[in-house]
Amino acid sequence: MSTARAHARVAATLAAMLLVAACTGRGAPGGSPSARPEPVRTSATPTATTATPPARSPSSATSAPATTVPPAPQPATPRVSVIATRLRVPWEIAFAPDGTAFVSERPTGVISALSPDGRRTEVRRIAEVVAQGEGGLLGLAVSPDFRDDGLLYAYYTAAEDNRVVRFRAAGGAAAEVVLSGIPKAGNHNGGRIAFGPDGKLYIGTGDAAVPDRARDHRSLGGKILRVEPDGTVPADNPFPASPVWSLGHRNVQGLAWDARGRLWATELGPDRDDEINLIVRGGDYGWPQATGTARHDGSLPAAAVKQPPDAAWSGLGFVPAGAVAGWGDSLVAGGLRGQRLWRFPVTQDGRLGPGEPLLQGRYGRLRAVVRAPDDSLWITTSNRDGRGAPAADDDRILRYGR
């Protein structure tokens, strides 16, 4: 088969799958055999309460009968459904405008399109991916103009560096390098990418096991970077001609914006102090001289800190008030070593309330946490990454919502 005919056939297959996804809706998988709803939390069924009748004397007339007080309405309990199974370390999920989910698998270099009923279609296999240690195919992002340009962005570990590329989702044209030269190593490769409300591409990197890179303005390691969609440096970045947006990070793993457009990031600490940080333009977050709420030479303290046995945060999502019954604006982080979700209420003035653990120990290591178009959360497990205890159907994509 000629190259042109092969590309046409891939495009036709993906277009058909996207049409199915659009017709079947963007939320729960419904009656799909692969969707297995499970209650997230259980509570006793509310029962009616009976008011105590007033005391009466034997000679008094018959008093009014006891009255039944109806129970107060209870918020719907979020549920978990399994969307897909038997993936190989799914690292990221990025949603297209029609609800199709693109999924990256770290060790294979494969990007698949996933319809809401769990059907997968391979979109691209990036042959240049070098999956060593924590490296491989990592973050994905959908272009803000996806309806017009059809572009996907991917962050991956190559032979010499970590890099960001872009390519058309429907088609086999060569990928275009957006940014290269990000330090790589067996660990601390960062990897999360996301478009902000300003239309710029934000890139979370790690120090690639050389801590002094994090506060070195000349290095791309240990930073949050900000570039235009084509990789050029925005004129309003804090350091002239530099993609660096913030520095002093050890290993950035999650990026999310709240309802007021504030950027938050999760970061893995060393043997202590996993952080959630409120990111500001040009901010220095202290690594390696400071972790957690400590400060050093003008560095900024973390907004929330947990210890690795309970946290080891990776992906981060924002859920607006009302999307989940009983929640206000919330950040939700996936715990790897902690094997749970953490929900943190977000205040109007940019503070985080006490963390609430969810799904503790039920699905193993949790990595990506992404808000879907229907306001549910899609979560990937990471039990086949060499550090978990995989079940027979791992790794999975879970849907948490109503």
Between CA 286 and CA 269 the distance in angstroms is 11
Q: Kindly report, residue by residue over 203-222, the tens digit of the pLDDT.
A: 999 999 999 999 999 999 99
In a domain, 138, yes or no: yes
Number of domains in the chain: 1
In a domain, 71, yes or no: no
In a domain, 37, yes or no: no
In a domain, 189, yes or no: yes
Strand order through the sheet with 313-319: 313-319, 330-335, 341-345, 356-358
Bigger pLDDT: 77 or 358? 358
Bigger pLDDT: 289 or 172? 289
Q: Which residues contact 103 (CB under 8 A, 6 or more apart)?
A: 84, 87, 90, 92, 93, 111, 112, 113, 114, 120, 140, 380, 397
Domain enclosing residue 184, as ranges? 78-401
**pLDDT at 30 > cutoff 50:** no
- Which region among 2-11, 18-27, 380-389, 390-399 has the lowest average model confidence (pLDDT)? 18-27
> How many angstroms separate the Cα of 284 from the Cα of each of 217, 235, 291, 298, 330?
11, 20, 12, 7, 24
**pLDDT at 69 > cutoff 80:** no
Stretch 140-163: mean pLDDT, rounded? 97
Structure tokens at 161: 């560096």
**pLDDT at 57 > cutoff 70:** no
Amino acid identity, position 205:
T
**pLDDT at 61 > cutoff 70:** no
**pLDDT at 161 > cutoff 60:** yes
Sign of the C-alpha dihedral, residues 211, 217, 223, 229?
Answer: negative
**pLDDT at 225 > cutoff 50:** yes
**CATH number of the domain that 99 lies in?**
2.120.10.30
Q: Which long-range contacts (CB under 8 A, 24 or more apart) does 349-353 make?
A: 350/260, 350/262, 350/278, 350/303, 351/303, 352/276, 352/303, 352/304
Stretch 261-285: mean pLDDT, rounded? 97
In a domain, 39, yes or no: no
In a domain, 381, yes or no: yes
State whether residue 68 is helix, strand or coil. strand
Per-residue confidence band for 76, with pLDDT thresholds at 50, 70 and 90: low
Helix H or strand E segment including 149:
helix 146-149
Residues pairing with 156 in the sheet: 137, 163
Q: Which residues contact 236 (CB under 8 A, 6 or more apart)?
A: none
Structure tokens at 60: 């008094």
Per-residue confidence band for 70, with pLDDT thresholds at 50, 70 and 90: low
Its pTM stands at 0.82
**pLDDT at 38 > cutoff 90:** no
**pLDDT at 42 > cutoff 90:** no
CB 253 within 8 A of CB 225: no
Q: Which of 186, 93, 92, 177 is nearest to 135 (CA)?
A: 186
Q: Which residues contact 180 (CB under 8 A, 6 or more apart)?
A: 158, 161, 163, 164
Q: Which residues contact 363 (CB under 8 A, 6 or more apart)?
A: 80, 339, 379, 381, 396, 398
**pLDDT at 35 > cutoff 70:** no
In a domain, 21, yes or no: no
Stretch 128-133: mean pLDDT, rounded? 95
- Which region among 50-54, 122-126, 183-187 has the lowest average model confidence (pLDDT)? 50-54
In a domain, 110, yes or no: yes
**pLDDT at 141 > cutoff 90:** yes
Stretch 170-192: mean pLDDT, rounded? 95
- Which region among 45-59, 82-96, 127-141, 148-162 has the lowest average model confidence (pLDDT)? 45-59
DSSP states of 279-326: E-TT-B--TTT--TT---TTPPPPSEEE-TTT--EEEEEEE-TTSSTT
